[in-house]
Amino acid sequence: GAGVSQSPRYKVAKRGQDVALRCDPISGHVSLFWYQQALGQGPEFLTYFQNEAQLDKSGLPSDRFFAERPEGSVSTLKIQRTQQEDSAVYLCASRSRGTGAETQYFGPGTRLLVL
Amino acid sequence: GESVGLHLPTLSVQEGDNSIINCAYSNSASDYFIWYKQESGKGPQFIIDIRSNMDKRQGQRVTVLLNKTVKHLSLQIAATQPGDSAVYFCAENRDANTGNQFYFGTGTSLTVIP
C-alpha cells in the first residue's frame, strides 16, 4: 500500500511569501503529525491531529504557522509571511490509531528554502 | 564500534562489524521508545520499538536495549552493511496513553566502511 506522501518535495520562497505544504497520510490512519527538521537536527514536533481535530498545536513556533485537516485525511501546513528561519524540512507522519504505543510512519518531507 | 550519543554524533565501522548507537533520554516518565533510520533526502524510517515494561527487544539484525535506571537506550546492529549508513534517531514518547508527542534526539551518523 502507499505510504505517506508530501508535496511539493522542494519549495523555494521569497521572504514574506505565504506557502502551503500538503500531506497525504496512509489511508485510514487516525493520527497525523507535523514536524520541523532543521539541518543536522532531529525532527521537532509542531502539531498533532486526531481525525479532523487538532488536539495539540503546542509546537507551532509562531502564529504565522497554521495547520488544518478538515476532512480527517489530507492535511495542509501553511506558513504565512515566511522568514529565513523557517527554512527547514517539514515532515508529516501518520499513525493508525489515535493513541497508544504505536509507531508513526513518515513521509519524505518538504524541503523549504526561504530566500 | 560504539557511539556515546550526543557527545559523539558520528560513528564509523567496518563492514561486517557490529555497531552500537547510544541515546540518553530525559524524562523518566517516558514509556515508549522508537529507533528511526534516516537516509539523506528521506523521511525517518521505523527500525524497532520498545515499551518501558521491557529491557530488550530483538528484530532482524537489530537489538534495542533499554535501561530505565539510567535513562539510556541503545541500538545494536549486527554485521553492519553499507546500506546501514544513515543517521539514526531515538525518539521517546512521554505518555503512550495520549501518544501525542515524540521527542527526538540529535541523532548519530553511522558510516559503514566497505
Cβ distance of B43 and A103 shorter than 8 Å: no
Provide the pLDDT for residue B93.
87
For the stretch B25-35, pLDDT in tens is 888 888 899 99
pLDDT of residue A1: 53
Q: Please classify residue A111 by burial: count the beta carbons closer than 10 Å to its beta carbon, then call 0-12 exposed, 13-18 middle and 19+ buried.
A: middle
Q: What percent of chain A has pLDDT over 70?
A: 98
| pLDDT at B111 > cutoff 50 | yes
> Rounded to 5 degrees, what are φ and ψ at B5?
55, -125
Instruction: Output the pLDDT for position B96.
Output: 60
- Over range A7-29, report the average pLDDT: 97
User: In whole numbers, what is the pLDDT of chain A averaged over residues?
Assistant: 94
CB contact under 8 A, A102 and B99: yes
Q: CA end-to-end span of chain A, whole Å? A: 37
Residue B54 contacts A, CB cutoff 8 Å: no
Chain segment A30-41, per-residue pLDDT in tens: 999 999 999 888
Q: Of B42, B46, B107, which is closest to A103 when you measure between CB atoms? A: B46
The pLDDT assigned to B98 comes to: 65
Would the pLDDT of B112 be above 60?
yes
Q: Which of B4-8, B31-35, B45-49 has the lowest average pLDDT?
A: B4-8
Contact of B44 with chain A, judged by CB distance below 8 Å, is answered with yes
How far apart are the C-alpha atoms of B113 and B101, rounded to whole Å? 35
Q: Is the bond preceding A8 in cis, omega lying within 30 degrees of 0?
A: yes
Q: Quick check: B22 pLDDT over 60?
A: yes
- Grid cell 522542494 is found at A10
CA-to-CA distance for A4 and A93, rounded, in angstroms?
Answer: 7
Condensed to tens digits (0 to 9), the pLDDT of residues B82-93 reads 999 999 999 998
pLDDT at B4 over 60: no
B53 and chain A in contact, CB less than 8 A: no
pLDDT in tens, A58-102: 999 999 999 999 999 999 999 999 999 999 999 999 998 877 778
- The answer to whether residues A43 and B44 touch, using CB atoms and an 8 Å cutoff, is yes
